[in-house]
């Protein structure tokens, strides 16, 4: 075999290894983005991702680019009984809503470290406009209140399944985590009891095994969960509920350990995903989705 061809094959293999190990696309560039806990791709703005801080921040979320530039900040009126308007926002998702053909953002105020909250809150927003210049705007959300059927618990994972029109929450702590769902066809200010679907077990020691984020691809065919040490990936079989998909053995792709990784989100085409973590100037990593079939 000619030397040139051998060198080309070696270079291609080396490039594949680099891709499999992730690429840093940038760093979170704004000082107010210091405890990012969720990230999701916009369905209407190419190259835009929504992200938010967790407990301690006010009622707002951000629009950013994959290199970490802040493009917009969106404020909203949260709960009147809390000083900051929100208690502990832990994940963000995107998907369909009440108007066909429009995309909506779902922000989950679902953190509960002491497992004592009577209700959780999900804020739904129609995807907002973003200008060429930095945008600062105030949005009006539709509010949903959620209760667990088996008592309060902490959670940091909120996902939207566009195929079955379901909102998913996955609990965070204990030896096994629990998967819950509720339909997306709720009305403003409804209080809904979640449906308990299944339990999932992940190896490791707490707190590193605790589930901190997840996402379902826009077309509903792929699922991600993450904790502080691993990413878990599933390919969904046709006609299978997402909660059932997650009971199968996951693929564990390569993951670069982060300071406190609590965010993961697919790209719009589902060919890759981004992760980032809490902390000032935190890196943003891009990974290709595993090439598997079911």
Domain boundaries, the chain: 24-288
CATH topology of domain 24-288: Neuraminidase (2.120.10)
Please measure the distance between the N-terminal and C-terminal CA atoms of the chain and give it in whole angstroms.
36
* pLDDT at 82 > cutoff 90: no
Which residues fall within 8 angstroms of residue 3, CB to CB, at 6 or more apart?
none
Q: What would the pLDDT profile of 141-174 be if each residue is shown by its tens digit?
A: 999 999 999 999 999 999 999 999 999 999 999 8
Structure letter (DSSP) for residue 251: B
* Residue 94 or residue 12, greater confidence: 94
* Residue 14 or residue 104, greater confidence: 104
Q: Quick one: pLDDT band at residue 64, thresholds 50, 70, 90?
A: very high
* Residue 133 or residue 58, greater confidence: 58
Percent of the chain past pLDDT 70, that is, above it, reads 92
Q: Quick one: pLDDT band at residue 83, thresholds 50, 70, 90?
A: confident
Percent of the chain past pLDDT 90, that is, above it, reads 85
DSSP for 14-66?
HHHHHHHT-EEEEE--STT-SSEEEEEE-SSSTT-EEEEE-TTS-SEEEEE-T
């Amino acid at each position: 075999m000619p030397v040139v061809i051998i060198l080309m094959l070696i270079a291609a293999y080396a490039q594949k290894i680099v891709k499999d190990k992730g690429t840093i696309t940038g760093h979170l560039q704004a000082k107010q983005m210091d405890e990012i806990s969720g990230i999701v791709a916009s369905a209407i703005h190419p190259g835009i991702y929504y992200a938010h801080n967790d407990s301690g921040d006010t009622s707002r979320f951000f629009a950013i680019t994959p290199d970490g530039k802040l493009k917009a900040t969106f404020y909203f009126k949260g709960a009147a009984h809390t000083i900051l308007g929100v208690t502990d926002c832990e994940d963000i998702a995107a998907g369909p809503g009440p108007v066909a053909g429009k995309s909506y953002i779902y922000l989950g105020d679902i953190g509960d470290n002491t497992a004592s909250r009577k209700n959780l809150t999900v804020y739904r927003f129609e995807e907002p406009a973003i200008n060429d210049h930095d945008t600062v705007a105030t949005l009006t959300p539709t509010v949903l209140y959620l209760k667990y059927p088996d008592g309060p618990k902490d959670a940091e994972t909120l996902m939207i399944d566009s195929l079955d029109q379901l909102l998913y929450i996955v609990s965070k702590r204990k030896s096994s985590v629990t998967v819950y769902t509720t339909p997306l066809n709720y009305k403003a200010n409804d209080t809904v009891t979640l449906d308990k679907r299944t339990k999932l077990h992940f190896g490791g020691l707490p707190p590193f095994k605790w589930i901190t984020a997840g996402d379902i691809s826009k077309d509903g065919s792929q699922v991600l969960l993450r904790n502080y040490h691993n990413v878990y990936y599933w390919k969904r079989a046709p006609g299978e509920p997402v909660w059932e998909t997650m009971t199968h053995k996951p693929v564990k792709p390569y993951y670069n350990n982060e300071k406190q990784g609590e965010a993961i989100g697919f790209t719009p085409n589902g060919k890759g995903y981004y992760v980032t973590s809490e902390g000032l100037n935190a890196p943003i990593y891009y990974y290709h989705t595993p090439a598997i079939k079911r």
